[in-house]
Amino acid sequence: MTFSASTGPLGRTGAALAAALLAFAPAAALAQAAKPAAASAPAAKPAASSAAAPKLVLVDEKKDVGTVPKGEVVHATFIIRNEGKADLHVTDVKPSCGCTAPEYDKTIKPGAEGKIVLNVDTKTFQGPISKSALILTDDPEKPQITVFVMANVKPFVETSPVGFFRLQALTGETATSTIILSSDEADFKPTKVEPPNSYLKATLVPAADAEKVAGKGANQWKVTVTTTPDAPEGLLGGYVKVTTGAAKQPELSLAVSGYIKPTLSITPLSVNFGNFEPKADPVKRTVTIINNNLKNEAFQVTKAESNVPGVKAEVVMADKSRAQVIISVDDKVKKGVFDGFVTVSTNDPTKKEIKIPLKGVIL
């Protein structure tokens, strides 16, 4: 017997079930589609946290302090406001130049103001200058800003031929450098000069007519700086300070630049053999000694001796200005650590004896 889907009891039940399923499907689909919208509701939270954040407002980005005397320290103050709802923290202020020292308020309350002060030392500048500083904060929308200080640095006391002393000498010798000072200020009359250290000597006297710079007026002074024979080897630095008597520029700082060169250059200054096992052929290291003193035309390294048993030193004159000290370790040296030096004798008047440290480990 064959049953029709439209007439039997089972057919009527199946049709009803199918209709129910079709009615339920759109509702289920709508419910599934609604779920993501419910899950995205917390996205509103950042707006709440942003509302509680600090907000930096800079009143002025640039400060022009106008004309200032050379050597004066310029103080430029920048006002920042916190228009947010949380504390504003200034985490750092980074100047673009070593001539600038910052001072600043680290915490600014909501609704309050704070200060950033840039102190610019003008002693090494002349003419128009522009200095900047990067301000770092915890404002999420403005974590960093840059401010600028501008000035026209005027030297009321002028220097000739340059504004610094250049000095160079060999160890044991002296070097001299001179600067002429001039000014149109009626009260210009230098009274004092101070060198930066004991191995630089400075004098201050009125310039003689033959020393005066043309076109700079009659009132000129000469400052002379001289190194002493005991000045240490290496770079020279610091500032010579002159009390000028001029009200608009009462003190003048003149930089010192130079170098005290050793009469002998030694390379390397010490010898390290490291860890090694002696073989039939000696392990060798070479120290080169160069004569920088052209006056010592008969330069000689006369002797080299080691105080470590089994370590020998030999002198070889490469030419009239250069010698080599060859240091060798023979295969009979005792095992273990050795630590000593090689004593080198020369005819240099300032370095008659040189001690070269040496060390190593025999395996």
3-state secondary structure of 144: strand
Task: Show the domains of the chain with their CATH numbers.
Answer: 56-154 (2.60.40.10), 158-261 (2.60.40.10), 264-362 (2.60.40.10)
Quote the CA–CA distance of 252 and 181 in Å, as a whole number: 10
pLDDT of the residue at 13: 45
Low pLDDT (below 50) residues in the chain: 1-41, 43-48
pLDDT of the residue at 42: 52
HEC letters along 206-257: ECCHHHCCCCCCCCEEEEEEEECCCCCCEEECCEEEEECCCCCCCEEEEEEE
pLDDT of the residue at 48: 41
pLDDT of the residue at 330: 81
Cβ atoms of residues 270 and 355 within 8 Å: no
pLDDT of the residue at 363: 85
pLDDT of the residue at 39: 47
